Amino acid sequence: MREITLSQAVNEALAEEMRRDETVFIIGEDVAEAGTPFKVLSGLVEEFGTGRVVDTPIAEPGFMGLAVGAAMTGTRPVVDLMFGDFIYLVMDQLCNQAAKTHYMSGGKLNVPLVLRTNLGATRRSAAQHSQSLHALVAHIPGLKVALPSSAYEAKGLMKTAIRDNNPVVIFEDKLMYNDKAPVPEEEFLIPFGEANIKREGSDITLIGTSSMVQVCEAAADILEKEGISAEVIDPRTIVPLDEEALLKSAKKTSRVIVVDEGHQSYGITGEIAGRINEKAFYHLDAPVLRMGAMDVPVPFTPALEDLTVPTPETVAENARRLMSGEMIHAA
Amino acid sequence: MSPAKKQSNAEDYMRMYRQMVRIRAFEDNANQLYLSAKMPGLTHMYSGEEAVAVGICEALRTTDKITSTHRGHGHCVAKGAEFKEMFCELLGKEEGYCRGKGGSMHIADQSNGNLGANAIVGGSMGIATGSAFTAKMLGKDDVTVCFFGDGATAQGLMYEVMNMAALWNLPVIYACENNGYSEYTRTDEIAAGSITGRAEAFGIEAFQVDGQDVLAVNDLAQKLAERCRKGEGPFFMELMTYRYHGHHVGDINREYYRSKEEERDWKENRDPIIRFRGWLVEQGIASEDEIEAMNATIKDEAAAAVEYALQAKYPDASEVDMHVFTDVKHALA
């Protein structure tokens, strides 16, 4: 199978959906000729024109709000939010407007929009360009949240998101834009709410999201050499969450570590760990462990930044401790 | 007020009068429901501002869109909504426009192009601008009117979306209902400079109009809507008006921010319904008897709708997790 980068995968998904449905358009800062700072959208304006690849002023709440109204009236906007950190700027339009419109209208109005943005630290971009804020929106009923972990997922989830009649937020790992993965030439979609078992194992389950799937896979490689068989699962979407697949794996292995790049406290890892505790408690041989990013603003200096996120080594170390029966306090 | 254009417009004039009286009747009943503790929560009365909603919405087609505010019952009635479904919504009943899930501050009636009231001050400015974006992108000649109050001019979102609407010539009319008060504070204490000047800074043509004169409002709205359809938008209207009640129904003792004399002056000397009624009689469009008969009919219709809503069913408990997502019947099942 051919291999393409995550960036190309997103670009292809958008182009295919824009060809298929003329109500789909892209709106955001520097999306047209610039193709975004990460060059993810390069070439789209040449094919679809500035009427459908719309450069905006630097006004995140404004273009987010505009997209909500556009979506309510018959179009399918894909909002480009240059950095995930800017999500704070669009919170009212996303969480008070887009997320609640269908419910508040008793099912009469729909908001079929996609907000595509990114997450991920270790790019030496400091605290306002490095956050992983998907937990903020996953907390809000009415929003779906997708976390692609490779080029394959990035394409399949984006196409599904564009066809979904609800507001969907997709966070791409900005460190992965140039990473290649096998992606079929023929059309495919990845349904929401279906976890992917990346690797089967029997001793411990590593649940990883987005950027942390690679970390979990690398940790599983380390553990394999030591005779520990780790299962790696990628939920792919956290709303909806494929709870069944996660519980099944937890019951099978009896030990679970949940790894996510959002801050650990009040985050995705705690939510998933809580569900496993509630629904698989008697199958567990150890407490479910959370590993998120440190609860500190992301520091600039590489000497400190690299300490803040889970790595294959720290995941493997915690797995060993869980296997040995040692009581541990996370991170 | 200006002289009647033609007798053939009599029907339009009478419909405008009727719609204004319907709004007043709706609000009088809503206020009573609150005072008699039959309505959950609270509400914000539109009484006094009727000529704004009616003058503008009578210039629009059913397919044109509006966005509304927490003080939104008037916009909803003026855009074509029915009493029964509106009262049911206010009382949280299943037959309400939003199945009781929105209430007074969130009534949406998409069948008449009402994209919904909004409980965040200024929260619908993006939505209205986006609706106009859709019209332009899909090549429709729909116009969108964004209703908001003077208080909302303090929100940053307004400037962001007016900038984009002006850059892209979107068919949107920003209709600022200036009732002089930003909740419990005089507007001149929170707004520096002129209101229309804010739009003019973006090159948007802005007009100030007497919001108590339904014909003046309608005349301007018709011209601007037609110009929007020709691609000449956006536009900005500042409608000078007054709210008879407090910020919300419970805001009774309000002399610390405005005097009873001021309220009396607006009610007695500038009431949009009394003024228009006098004009209709003076122009020979309707007799006092005809007007009284119309008023009585509307009063009865409102009372019947209230009675219906009071007896109507609440939604079943199973609805609590419905409509969270479009494609999942019960989100928590």
* A263 carries an active-site annotation: no
The catalytic residue among A12, A60, A153, A217 is A60
* Tokens coding B56: 């503008």
pLDDT band at B7 (very low <50, low <70, confident <90, very high): low
Chain B residues close to A52, C-beta within 8 Å: 137
Q: Inform me whether the C-beta atom of residue A244 falls under 8 Å from chain B C-beta atoms.
A: no
**Contact between A66 and B129 using a beta-carbon 8 Å cutoff:** yes
Tell me which chain A residue has its CA closest to the CA of residue B162: A62
Side chain identity at A157, as an amino acid letter?
A: L
Would A3-182 and A196-324 be classified into the same CATH topology?
yes
What are the start-end ranges of the H helices in chain B? 10-35, 50-57, 73-78, 83-90, 125-137, 156-167, 195-200, 214-229, 260-269, 272-282, 288-311
Among B137, B156, B326, beta carbon nearest to A51? B137
Residues of A in contact with B106 (CB under 8 A): 104-105
Contact yes or no for B326 and A166 at CB 8 A = yes
The H or E element containing residue B146 is: strand B144-149
pLDDT in tens, B36-74: 999 999 899 999 999 999 999 999 999 999 999 999 999
| CB within 8 Å: B101 and A96 | no
Please give the Cα distance from A188 to A180 (Å, whole number): 18
pLDDT of residue B6: 64
- The neighbouring-strand residues paired with A234 are A196
Dihedral sign, CA of A133, A138, A144, A145?
A: positive
Mean pLDDT along residues B133-144: 98
**Complex confidence, ipTM:** 0.95
pLDDT digits (tens, 9 = 90+) for B221-246: 999 999 999 999 999 999 999 999 99
Q: How far is B39 from chain A (nearest CA, A)?
A: 18
pLDDT of residue A141: 98
pLDDT of amino acid A325:
85
- With a cut of 70, say whether residue B178 has pLDDT above it: yes
> CA–CA separation, B316 vs B95, rounded Å?
12
Q: Which of residues 43-72 of B touch A (CB under 8 A)?
A: 65, 67
Q: Is A50 on the interface with B (CB under 8 A)?
A: no
Nearest-Cα residue of chain B relative to residue A140: B324
Residues in Cβ contact with B146 at an 8 Å cutoff, skipping those fewer than 6 apart: B66, B67, B124, B125, B128, B129, B172, B173, B174, B175
Say whether residue B126 is in contact with chain A using an 8 A CB cutoff.
yes
The whole-angstrom distance between B213's CA and the closest CA on chain A is: 30
Q: Which residue of B has its CA nearest to A98?
A: B127
B248-262: average pLDDT:
93
Locate the chain A residue with the closest alpha carbon to B121. A92
| CB < 8 Å to B70, chain A | none
Query: Is A97's CB within 8 Å of B138's CB?
Result: no
Cα–Cα distance, A126 to A299 (Å, whole number): 5
Q: Is A202 on the interface with B (CB under 8 A)?
A: no
Does the beta carbon of B161 lie under 8 angstroms from any beta carbon of chain A?
yes
Q: Give yes or no: A102 in active site.
A: no
Question: In chain A, what are the domain boundaries?
Answer: 3-182, 196-324
CATH (residue range B7-313): 3.40.50.970
Residue A99 phi, psi dihedral angles, 5° rounding: -70, -30
Considering only CA atoms, which of A259, A313, A317 is closest in space to residue A132?
A259
User: Which residues, numbered 162 to 221 in chain B, qualify as contacts with chain A under a Cβ-Cβ cut-off of 8 Å?
Assistant: 163-164, 167
Condensed to tens digits (0 to 9), the pLDDT of residues B278-332 reads 999 999 999 999 999 999 999 999 999 999 999 999 999 999 999 999 999 999 9
**Average pLDDT per block of 10 residues along chain A, 331 residues long:** 97 98 98 94 97 98 98 98 98 98 97 98 95 98 98 98 98 97 98 98 98 98 98 98 98 98 98 98 96 98 97 97 76 44
Please give the pLDDT value at position B170: 98
* Per-residue pLDDT at B1 exceeds 80: no
Distance CA A85, CA A296 (A): 15
| Domain A3-182 superfamily per CATH | Thiamin diphosphate (ThDP)-binding fold, Pyr/PP domains (3.40.50.970)
Fold of A196-324: Rossmann fold (3.40.50)
Q: Does A92 touch chain B (CB under 8 A)?
A: yes
A294's enclosing H/E stretch is: none
**B100 contacts A104? CB cut-off 8 A:** no
Q: Do A106 and B97 touch (CB under 8 A)?
A: yes
Contacts of A77 in chain B (CB under 8 A): 130
Q: Quick one: pLDDT at residue B65?
A: 98
Smallest CA-to-CA distance from A118 within A79, A144, A72 is with A79
For chain B, the average pLDDT equals 96
Q: How high is the pLDDT of residue A328?
A: 58
Among B residues 224-283, those touching chain A with beta carbons less than 8 Å apart: none
Q: Report the pLDDT averaged over residues B127-148.
A: 98
Nearest residue in A to B133, CA atom: A70
User: Domain segments of chain B: what residues?
Assistant: 7-313
User: Tell me, what's the pLDDT at A326?
Assistant: 77
- The whole-angstrom distance between B89's CA and the closest CA on chain A is 10
Q: Please tell me if residue A102 touches chain B, with a CB cutoff of 8 Å.
A: yes
| Closest Cα in chain B to A58 | B160
Contact assignment for A73 to B327 by CB distance below 8 Å? no
Residues of chain A neighbouring B115 (CB-CB closer than 8 A): 69, 72-73, 109
Q: Would the CB atoms of A92 and B331 count as touching at under 8 Å?
A: no
Distance CA B278, CA B281 (A): 5
Task: Please tell me the predicted confidence (pLDDT) of residue A331.
Answer: 44
pTM of the model: 0.96
Query: Taking CB atoms and an 8 Å limit, are B323 and A74 in contact across chains?
Result: no
